[in-house]
Structures are given as structure tokens and as C-alpha cells.
Amino acid sequence: MELKRKDILSLSDLDREEIDLILQTADSFKEVSTREIKKVPALRGKTVINLFFEPSTRTRTSFELAGKRLSADVINISSTGSSTVKGESLLDTARNIEAMHSDFIIVRHASSGVPQFLAKSLQSAVINAGDGAHAHPSQGLLDLLTIKEAKGTLEGLKVVIVGDILHGRVAHSDIHGLLKYGADIHLVAPPTLIPIGIELWGVTVHYHLDEALHDADVVILLRLQLERQNTAYFPTLREYAKLYGLDRRRLSLAKEDALVMHPGPINRGVEVTSEVADGLSSVILKQVSNGIAVRMALLFLLSGGKND
Ligand code: CP
């Protein structure tokens, strides 16, 4: 099977068959990262450009490692190191990169819609590495892979997503992905951080964490996107932590084998206590490891690779 699309912009664009193909391909690539020589020749001669206009540790590094483990040439460009600081437009920057014969442009930007805009103008495959509050599809995919691996299925699971749903591109991608598998999704946040009308997506909204956690199979904690909050959405971080932070007592309300997930970076003591983040239920670092396999799968499949 192959993925017949040029770009990966949002999980809302992908059907369940395409997501299954990506997850199966990622699963088969996981083994490469455990080899002594962590490399296969699948993308030899291809060029991947990481074009990041916002900070990143996990996504940028894992796209770089994914490209390198597939033997592609990978170049990293950050906003501060690019000529956009001298006034060059984003499109001109991208067109100049493409003139150097890039095959993939991985873009992260603070404005929603930038990857879609570039994808229309470029021949290179564009992968959205996070655009504003809109989407973070590779994070959504690695979350699906991590849950499926631990639970054996995505269907029918009770998944509780806690925190900044309003600005949370990870939440939006997780919801789009999980809904395609019939997960029972519960969102929890202060009313100010819940988008109006999100119930229409087919999710249940709560304002109290304890009530939502009962019988949860998975708890996904979101980072407070303070850089996207230009007004006060809640009184203090201390109050947020008290009402919405996951600690050991609250986790005991979920199923005994519930997974604790967080896309990172974590605000320890705010979204989750260290005891829970580093505890036996946490798969937070597994999410990071799975990120490489998912990004390898995306690069491989978008370059025309087949998984039979
Ligand atoms: N999860 C995530 O996007 O992390 P980074 O911001 O470090 O890439």
C-alpha cells in the first residue's frame, strides 16, 4: 500500500486507512532505532529541510533523526538564522530553499495555515510540524501509535484530554485522529480554555477533572500555551494546578492500567506532578521515541515508499 498524497497538513485530511498505513509503517521502522548502526538507505539522495519558526526540542530533533536514519540529507533552518529577519517573505524563503532542490519541507510556524499556504505554492512535500493553535499532525500520529501499542486498540477507549484545548494544536490533532477510531473523548479545562461549540465534534466537555477521570483508559495532559495567551484565561498557575493538575490521588480515579501522556515540554507541578510524570503509568518518553518512527514513516511514504 502507498500514501497517495503530496503533503501532511492535518489529521482531519487523512482517512482511517491512511492513518493505519502510517502507523503500520512506523511500527516496522521502530526496529531501525534499536540497531547498532541506526540507518537504512530508503531516502538516500533525498533532501529534508527543517524550517522552524518556533522553538522545538522533540519535533525538530526527531524529524532530523528520522531523515538521517533513512539516509536523507537534513538541513535545519530556524527563524533567527534565516533571512526572514532581514525582511524576506516566508514564501520567498521557501521558494529559495526549493530552488536548492529540496524534497521535503518540514515547517513549524506560530500562524495557523502557514503549511497549507506553502504546500499550495511548492512542489516539495510539506509536513506540518505545528501551525499556531491549529494542528500538529505528526504529534497526533505518535500519540495514536503510543496508545495502540499499549492498549492493543484505539477503538472504544475512554480518552481524557486535560488543559489548554483552545490553543492546543496537539489536542486538535489527537481529537481528529481518535474520533476516526471511535474513541470516547472527554475534554477537561477551565471554561475559558474550551473552544465554543467543540461538543459538535462528538466529544464530551467537563470543567471538573475528578468527574472526567472515572474509568479513563488514557489521560493526555496538555501544556498551557502561555505564549499564545494574550489575556488571563485563569487566575493563577497555582489555582490551575490545584483544579486541573494530575496528581497521584486523581490518577487513582482512572483505570488501574490508565496511560498518562503529555506531548512536552512539561510544566512540572502545573499540568502534572513529577511523581505522576515519572511514574509507572507514564508513557511520556515512549511518545518521544515513537515520534522518530512516525516521522520516518511519513518521510518514507510521502517519497512514494510502499508498505505491503
Ligand atoms: N511535542 C512537541 O511539539 O514538542 P516540541 O515543541 O519540543 O517540538
Q: What is the pLDDT of residues 95-108, one digit of tens each?
A: 999 999 999 999 99
pLDDT of residue 231: 66
CA-closest residue to ligand 1 atom 1: 263
CA-closest residue to ligand 1 atom 3: 59
Measure 263 CA to ligand 1 centroid, in angstroms. Answer: 7
Q: Which of 151, 189, 187 is nearest to 172 (CA)?
A: 187
Mean pLDDT of 253-258: 98
- The residue whose CB lies within 8 Å of the most ligand 1 atoms, and thus the one to mutate among 51, 53, 57, is 57
Q: What is the pLDDT of residues 115-155, one digit of tens each?
A: 999 999 999 999 999 999 999 999 999 999 999 999 999 99
pLDDT of residue 14: 98
How many CA atoms, within 13 angstroms, populate the side-chain half-sphere of residue 62?
24
DSSP state of 101: -
Measure 228 CA to ligand 1 centroid, in angstroms. Answer: 15
pTM beyond 0.85: the answer is yes
132 exposure class (CB count in 10 Å sphere: 0-12, 13-18, 19+): middle
Q: What is the pLDDT of residues 212-255, one digit of tens each?
A: 999 999 999 999 877 766 667 888 889 999 999 999 999 999 99
CA-closest residue to ligand 1 atom 5: 56
Q: Is 287 in the pocket of ligand 1 (CB under 6 A)?
A: no
Using CA atoms, how far apart are residues 161 and 209, in angstroms rounded to an integer?
Answer: 10
Measure 61 CA to ligand 1 centroid, in angstroms. Answer: 9
Q: Is 110 in the pocket of ligand 1 (CB under 6 A)?
A: no
Q: What is the pLDDT of residues 154-192, one digit of tens each?
A: 999 999 999 999 999 999 999 999 999 999 999 999 999
pLDDT of residue 228: 66
Q: Is 61 in the pocket of ligand 1 (CB under 6 A)?
A: no
Instruction: Kindly give the number of the ligand 1 atom that is closest to the alpha carbon of 59.
Output: 8
pLDDT of residue 225: 72
Q: What is the pLDDT of residues 16-37, one digit of tens each?
A: 999 999 999 999 999 999 999 9
Q: How far is CA 239 from CA 124, 163, 166, 222, 260, in A?
A: 46, 13, 18, 16, 21
